[in-house]
Amino acid sequence: MKENLEKNFSGTIVCDGDKTFPNFTRKLQRCWAHLLREADWLAEHADEAKPLQKVLHKLYGQLKTSLEDDPPPARRARLASDAKRRLGYWLKKRYKSEEIKEFIQKARNGFDHWFTFVTTPGVEPTNNLAERALRELVVQRKIVGTLRNEKGIRIYETLPTLLATWKQRGLDLQEALSNALTEAWKREREVKKFNRLAA
């Protein structure tokens, strides 16, 4: 993360509640899939959580519907402000269950980042897209022997990332890979030439 995000990263990170992410940017979107799954689990185990679960699902559904026609910034800001007010009301309520109190604290900790997807067009409200993209790689990682050394790990983590990025940008994969390899080869030749001259 330090290598990929620290210097020039200007996007929004869609993430779970891991404390690492705020070290890189304030532009975060906390994952609603994680929030709703945990609320569902709590509602199954404690009646006290059922109203909260229903409110969260309703709020999320209404926001998704409101964003379908890509509203202008002012409308998005009003939607986010209203959603924060509604969520804040439920986070201030008193609960008896310790598990619900822990859940509420997690939600409070990420309060400023639940509605980035409302105010920032193109930001997803969940990290499902990233998790789906990684699923196949995680399986492959378990069976590919080259991951036992640093060079193999570096190649393995770089190539799929490049291919996925080019695909999302609508580029021809063969052409993009060929261009990247050509540029890398040119840079390597220039470094070798410079080293010879400096010696």
pLDDT digits (tens), the chain, 199 positions? 666 666 667 778 888 877 777 777 788 899 999 999 999 999 999 999 999 999 999 999 999 999 999 999 999 999 999 999 999 999 999 999 999 999 999 999 989 999 999 999 989 998 766 556 555 665 566 666 556 677 777 777 777 778 888 888 888 988 988 888 898 888 888 888 888 877 6
Beta bridge partners of 15: 30
End-to-end Cα, the chain, rounded Å: 36
The pLDDT score that the predictor gives to residue 144 is: 62
Residues 6+ apart with CB under 8 A from 60: 32, 36, 125
Same domain, 8 and 87: yes
Cα 24 to Cα 21, 32, 89, 133, distances in angstroms? 6, 21, 30, 22
Same domain, 16 and 50: yes
Cα 65 off chain centre by: 21
The pLDDT score that the predictor gives to residue 190 is: 87
Report the C-alpha gap between 197 and 25 in whole angstroms. 41
How many structural domains does the chain have? 2
Same domain, 100 and 191: no
Residue 9 lies in domain: 2-119
Query: Does residue 139 sit within a domain?
Result: no
Which alpha helices (DSSP H) does 46-115 contain, by range? 50-66, 73-92, 98-109
The pLDDT score that the predictor gives to residue 180 is: 86
The residue out of 102, 119, 136 marking a domain boundary is: 119
Same domain, 30 and 99: yes
Same domain, 36 and 107: yes
The residue out of 68, 84, 119 marking a domain boundary is: 119
Same domain, 84 and 177: no
pTM for this entry? 0.66
Same domain, 27 and 97: yes
Same domain, 96 and 29: yes
Same domain, 106 and 152: no
Query: Does residue 133 sit within a domain?
Result: no
Query: Does residue 135 sit within a domain?
Result: no
